Amino acid sequence: MSNTNQKAETVDPVLSTKDGRWPIFIKLFILLIAASVLAELIGTVTIPLGPIGKISIIPMIFSMIIAVLFTPDALGRVIEPLKKLCSEKEVQLSENVIMLMLLILGVKLGTSAGPNILKIVQAGPALIFQEFGNLGTMLIGLPFAMILGMRREAVGATVSICREPTLGLISEKYGINSPEGLGVMGTYMVGNLFGTLFFGLLASLAVNTGIHPYALAMASGMGSGSMMTAASTSLAEILPNMKDEILAYAATSNIMTNVTGLYMECFIAIPLANKMYRVYSRLLRRKEA
C-alpha cells in the first residue's frame, strides 16, 4: 500500500491539484489554446514586397511566437502572473506533448496524400532523388561551421537538418555525449526554436522564384512535421487552387525523407562528411601555420 502511495506522489507534479494548484498539463493546454485563439484572431498577414512578390505569415507562425513569449525566459521574466502560469515544468512537459501532436498531424496529412495518390505516383522517381538535394545541408554547412570554429561538432551539426532520425543515428554511431552528438543536438534545438518560423517564411518567398509549386511542396518535406506543415501551409495559402496537391506532395515527401533519408545519411552523408572534415582540417591547419 505504501508503494502505491509513493507512486501516486511521483505523478503529483503533473496530475494532482494538491494545495490548490492546477495540474501542469491543464495550465499548459490553457496557454496553448490562448496562443492559438490569439493567432487565429490575427489571421494570415500578407506583406507585399514590390516586384519580388509577397510574403504570407500564417496563424501557425504567430501562435509559435506568442507561445515563446509566454515562457519563463521571455515575458515570464517581467510579468509576475506568467511565472505562476508557465514555469519550467510546463516547458518540459511541452516537449513530450509535441510528439503526441505530431502523431495527430501525421494522420491529417495522410488523409491529404491518399486522395491524391495518382498525382503523387506521376511524380515518379523525383520524390526519391530529391534526397540528394538534402546533401546540400552538409556540403554548404560543414565548411562554414569549421571556419566559425567548430571541429567534430560540425559533422553532427551539418549532416542534415537534424530531426529525430538523425538524432538517433548520430547518438547510436558516436554517442550523444560525443562532439558529434553535441553538434546534432545543437542543430536539433535551434531547429525547434527557429526552424518552423524560417521555413514558413522561406516558402512564402520561394513562390516568387518561378520554381514549380510541386517541387516546392516536395522540398517542404524535409523530415520535420512542424517545419513541413509551416512551409506547405504557407505555399497553400498563396496558391489556394493547388492546396490539396501541395499538401499531398509535402506529406508524402516528408514520410519518404524520414525513411530514405536515414539510409542517405548512414551510407552517403556521414562518410562524405568525415572525408570533407579531414580535407578541411588539413587546409585549416596549413592556413594557421
CA dihedral over 111, 112, 113, 117, signed as positive or negative: positive
In a domain, 262, yes or no: yes
- CA atoms within 13 A of residue 168's CA, in its CB half-sphere: 6
pLDDT at 9 over 70: no
Higher pLDDT, 87 or 266: 266
Output b/e per residue, 230-240; b: 16+ Cβ within 10 A.
bbbbbbbbbee
**Cα dihedral: 154, 159, 163, 167 (round 10):** -70
Instruction: Return the number of other C-beta atoms located less than 10 Å from residue 137's C-beta.
Output: 18
Any domain includes 154: yes
Give the structural domain span for 202. 9-288
Residue 3, domain member (yes or no): no
Closest C-alpha among 231, 226, 261, 258 to residue 246 = 231
Distance CA 272, CA 278 (A): 10
In a domain, 92, yes or no: yes
Classify residue 2: in a domain, yes or no. no
Question: Has residue 56 been placed in a domain?
Answer: yes
User: Which grid cell is 167?
Assistant: 538524432
- Angle between helix axes 225-238 and 88-113 (nearest 10 degrees) is 60
Domain count, the chain: 1
Q: Per residue in 203-261, pLDDT tens?
A: 888 888 888 888 899 888 887 777 888 888 888 888 889 988 898 888 888 877 777 77
Nearest alpha-carbon partner for 216 in 169, 241, 249: 249
Could you read off the pLDDT of 162-211 as tens digits, one per residue? 777 787 788 888 987 889 988 988 888 787 667 877 888 888 888 888 88
Amino acid (1-letter code) at residue 195: G
Task: Say if 112 falls within a structural domain.
Answer: yes
SS3 assignment for 99-154: HHHHHHHHHHHHHHHHHHHHHHHHCCCHHHHHHHHHHHHHHHHHHHHHHCCCCCHH
Cell readout for 97 is: 506533448
Element (H, E) at 47: strand 45-48
pLDDT above 70 for 161? yes
> Which pLDDT belongs to residue 143?
92
pLDDT, mean of residues 50-58: 66
- Model pLDDT for residues 254-271, shown as the tens digit of each residue: 877 777 777 888 889 999
